[in-house]
């Protein structure tokens, strides 16, 4: 599924990439720069992980990607990084969903024996919770867009490590981040308060984590395909269209 060079120290490329994202995001917000700089930095950060960290998706279900390996891995990282790159959302929504996703990925990594991914995920959870605790005491401090983008990037990287065992690791960030956020924007935000919206979205995320531990890969694939078909079919009706 994924090539991982065991001799590579993943810590250095990840720190370099994370630093690039944080610094650029701060500069973009402070100097009102174009968002294209954020995207270019995300691409550069992803390339650092791919080329220096030697982490890349080279096979999908025994299908070799060949020359598409780096472009596909790059697209994977950038797409999942921007899942949490949202202009407006209730306070704590993206952070709460990210913590749920990180916890799920950490548990999966622990069960798979991937100590690096499990430890990294737990460290991110602890640091994020500490930041939330500090922000609750001081209203002047907020995790902001910089923090949520960084969380999205780290979730993408951790997902890459787990894809080496099962391609269905993609299920976790896709359904615990994208689905609750989509529900919020298209159905929830106009009917509930921010606090209620956050509770509903987090509950949905937690419920979508459960199938990973209860069902087989085949059952998960059927669920993903079935849900995708429902979403596609729903777009033919003006009443349920949201794309």
Binding residues for Mg(2+), by number, are 85
Binding residues: 85
Classify burial at 38, counting beta carbons within 10 Å of its beta carbon; exposed 0-12, middle 13-18, buried 19 or more: buried
Indicate the helix (H) or strand (E) that contains 3: strand 2-4
Residue 217, Cα to own-chain centre: how many angstroms? Answer: 20
Q: Strand, coil or helix: what is 57? A: strand
| CA neighbours closer than 13 Å in the CB half-sphere of residue 21 | 29
CB of 134 within 8 A of CB of 183? no
- How many CB atoms are located within 10 Å of the residue 182 CB? 15
The runs of H, that is alpha helices, within the chain are 11-30, 36-51, 69-81, 93-112, 115-137, 144-163, 171-173, 179-183, 194-214, 217-234
């Amino acid at each position: 599924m994924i090539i991982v060079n065991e001799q590579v120290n993943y810590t250095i490329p990840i720190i370099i990439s994370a630093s690039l994202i944080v610094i650029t995001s701060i500069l973009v917000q402070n100097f009102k720069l174009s968002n294209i700089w954020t995207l270019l930095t995300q691409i550069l950060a992803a390339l650092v992980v791919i080329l220096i960290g030697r982490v890349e998706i080279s096979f999908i279900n025994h299908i070799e990607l060949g020359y598409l390996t780096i472009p596909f891995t790059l697209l994977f990282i950038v797409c999942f990084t921007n899942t949490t790159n949202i202009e407006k959302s209730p306070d704590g929504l993206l952070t709460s969903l990210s913590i749920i996703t990180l916890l799920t990925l950490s548990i999966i990594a622990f069960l798979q024996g991937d100590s690096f991914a499990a430890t990294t995920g737990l460290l991110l959870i602890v640091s994020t919770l500490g930041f939330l605790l500090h922000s609750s005491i001081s209203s002047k401090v907020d995790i902001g867009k910089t923090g949520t983008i960084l969380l999205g990037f780290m979730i993408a990287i951790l997902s890459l490590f787990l894809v080496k065992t099962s391609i269905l690791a993609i299920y976790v960030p896709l359904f615990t981040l994208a689905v609750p956020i989509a529900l919020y924007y298209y159905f929830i935000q106009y009917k509930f308060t921010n606090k209620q919206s956050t509770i509903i979205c987090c509950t949905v995320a937690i419920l979508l984590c459960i199938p990973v531990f209860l069902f087989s890969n085949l059952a998960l694939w059927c669920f993903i395909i079935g849900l995708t078909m429902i979403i596609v079919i729903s777009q033919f009706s003006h009443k349920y269209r949201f794309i």
